[in-house]
Amino acid sequence: MNLTFIQMLIAFLIVYTCVYALVNRIATCIERCAMAKSVSKIDILTGKRKRRIPMSLSFLNNEMIMSLIQAAQMQMTVYKEFLKLCGGDVEEAKVQTQIYMNAFMCPSKKKKEGDD
């Protein structure tokens, strides 16, 4: 099989992109786990180190902490986008962000047409 330079270049770029995406995904996972583990060792209210807790509870706490961190990141991203859309009007961006986050976190239970 005789490959041209362009075909080899394209194949290399595809392989490089796949490997990069895989390594990036693994590194992000390790980083998030380490952050959740370190945050879960500190009591948020007092700032003191927590006593040692069983692994199963620690895992659940880590998952809840990561969920809260992701929700806060999402809220900041939404706020920045609304700030751009509202032309820099801070109060309007806050209101629109609150509406969006309420709709995202607590979707309405209204039935659609055709639902029984």
pLDDT of residue 31: 82
Q: What's the predicted TM-score (pTM) here?
A: 0.45
| pLDDT (0 to 100) of residue 37 | 72
Tokens of 70: 């992701």
Alpha carbons 102 and 86: distance in angstroms, whole number: 19
Q: Tell me how far apart the alpha carbons of residues 15 and 34 are, in angstroms, rounded to a whole number.
A: 29
The pLDDT of residue 103: 86
pLDDT of residue 16: 94
The one-digit pLDDT tens for each residue of the chain (116 residues) are: 677 988 889 999 999 999 999 999 998 888 887 777 776 666 655 666 666 655 555 555 667 777 888 888 888 999 999 999 989 889 999 999 998 888 888 777 665 666 55
